[in-house]
Amino acid sequence: MTKIFLHEGDLPDGLQWGSSIAIDTETQGLSLIRDKLCVVQISSGDGSAHLVQMDRNAYDAPNLKALLADTAIEKIFHFARFDVAMIKKWLNVDCTPVFCTKIASKLVRTYTDRHGLKDVSRELVGVDMSKAQQSSDWGAEKLSDAQLAYAASDVLHLHEIRNKLQEMLDREGRAELAKSCFDFLPVRAQLDLEGWAEMDIFAHS
């Protein structure tokens, strides 16, 4: 049975996470310049999710920051580029090492152009995810049960999805290519934060 824990401002002391965690963020919008980080959700892959509702006036979350900065723990995201940038901006933490299931999907699920978490989840682990709360007010003082369930669902299956995609990367001989992409993500996020979000600096023109 899924367990969802909501924490105000920071993670509590004493939680055990293992060697990898699934992470997602909820923000007030999709602008790295305008919008604030509202919620960080984390799962160790054990069927439970811990949601941290951020104090948007302080972002003083020492336990959360220590976990995200721990280089001995792999961080699994879907579309890590955005989450890593938001975490860098508001928590001043570089998340490494990273596994991005969206990048991995694009590298191995070349038979489709559908790489959203809902599509990847349905195909690889047989889970149908509702996205009804994706555009809701994450800056609200009190989050609804529907919001909490939605936020948790985004991390509960990422470990299993990562495992499936890793098998495909190994099979197709693209694991090292994927790792190189993952290693570049903190730099990509910094470029986004500093104004090069749309420009391809590698392009000729």
Q: Is residue 200 part of a domain?
A: no
Q: At residue 76, does pLDDT exceed 70? A: yes
Q: At residue 79, does pLDDT exceed 70? A: yes
Write out pLDDT tens, residues 18-68. Answer: 999 999 999 999 999 999 999 999 999 999 999 999 999 999 999 999 999
Cβ contacts of residue 85 below 8 Å, gap of 6+?
32, 189, 190, 192, 193
Q: Is residue 199 part of a domain?
A: no
DSSP three-state, residue 149: helix
Going by the DSSP 8-state scheme, the letter that residue 125 receives in this structure is: H
Where in the sequence is the domain holding 78, given as residue range(s)? 3-193
Predicted local confidence at residue 107, as pLDDT: 98
Structural domains of the chain, count: 1
What is the domain-level CATH number for residue 49?
Answer: 3.30.420.10
Write out pLDDT tens, residues 119-174. Answer: 999 999 999 987 666 679 999 999 999 999 999 999 999 999 999 999 999 999 99
Q: Is residue 202 part of a domain?
A: no
